[in-house]
């Protein structure tokens, strides 16, 4: 099996002078020119391909900054290390503006994968199918909500009787989704852990599950898991691209997808949150 240092040397074309493991899958590696990169080990070749394609697609918008991709193969991904700083209100406003510009860069369709990215991708450790469609409510139900609901039911995390509430919400999505919007270029897994506040004062986004989607989904995920200075992020976003009327009432609808993913991966507490937001949306 190829070692981590061998993979980095091959993918970057530089000799390795040091390494520091960060976790079972991640390490910092120092190159002979003094640069420090992050290397990730992934067992599924599609996952490295999807992440590399996603990072390049986000970078191509020239808006929110992401770590540069130095190379990848079936099992290894090498990207820039981000030297981390502290969150600030000023950086949050800039991030909001840049995120709005990223979304405005667009995508060919809802569910469209990044150029060069596979249809069978991942969100975190969960498989995620990128299947393009022109209709957001139908696509969101078929390819984002219902696959994870079915898995949660099969696992026993959600009871069949409880699943009815989510299924009813999916049927009502055309009336709950708000006014139609064109497909946005999404990060796709925009929880706080994937938002790095860099030492240079700018934000970097890592670990995307990039695809064409609804821009409110990224914002709903930021709110779901917490984000420093979220009000300032939203102020910057609205300054650049005002959100449609009623967007705050739709937050739960957009949080349903990540909550069901977490229910599949991490259990019942997330299933209860998903059921709660579905019932609240139906009651509204």
Active site (catalytic) residues: 189
3-state helix, strand, coil in the chain (%, to 5): 50, 20, 35
Is residue 8 within 8 A of residue 32, CB to CB? The reply is: no
Rounded CA separation 157/113 (Å): 29
**How large is the greatest C-alpha to C-alpha distance in the chain, in angstroms?**
60
Rounded CA separation 137/168 (Å): 13
Is residue 36 within 8 A of residue 28, CB to CB? The reply is: yes
Element (H, E) at 10: helix 4-12
Alpha helices in 159-214 (DSSP H): 160-176
Rounded CA separation 89/98 (Å): 14
């Amino acid at each position: 099996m190829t070692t981590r240092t061998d993979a980095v040397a091959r993918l970057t074309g530089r000799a390795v002078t040091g390494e520091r493991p960060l976790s079972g899958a991640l390490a910092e590696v120092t190159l002979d020119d003094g640069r420090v990169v992050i290397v990730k080990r992934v067992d599924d070749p599609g996952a490295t391909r999807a992440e590399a394609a996603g990072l390049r697609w986000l970078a191509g918008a020239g808006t929110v900054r992401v770590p540069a991709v130095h190379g990848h193969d079936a099992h290894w991904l090498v990207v820039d290390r981000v030297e981390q700083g502290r969150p600030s209100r000023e950086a949050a406003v800039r991030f909001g503006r840049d995120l709005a510009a990223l979304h405005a860069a667009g995508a060919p369709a809802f569910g469209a994968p990044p150029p060069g990215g596979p249809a069978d991708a991942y969100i975190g450790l969960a498989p995620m199918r990128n299947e393009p469609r022109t209709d957001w409510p139908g696509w969101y139900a078929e390819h984002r909500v219902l696959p994870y609901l079915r898995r949660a039911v099969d696992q026993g995390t959600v009871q069949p009787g409880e699943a009815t509430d989510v299924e009813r919400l999916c049927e009502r999505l055309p009336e709950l989704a708000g006014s139609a919007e064109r497909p946005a270029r999404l990060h796709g897994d925009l929880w706080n852990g994937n938002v790095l506040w860099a030492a240079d004062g700018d934000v970097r986004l890592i670990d995307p599950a990039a695809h064409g989607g609804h821009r409110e989904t990224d914002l709903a995920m930021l709110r779901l898991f917490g984000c420093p200075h979220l009000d300032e992020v939203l102020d910057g976003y609205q300054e650049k691209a005002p959100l449609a009327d009623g967007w705050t009432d739709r937050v739960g609808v957009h949080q349903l997808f990540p909550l069901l993913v977490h229910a599949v991966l991490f259990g019942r507490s997330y299933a209860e949150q998903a059921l709660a937001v579905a019932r609240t949306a139906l009651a509204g």
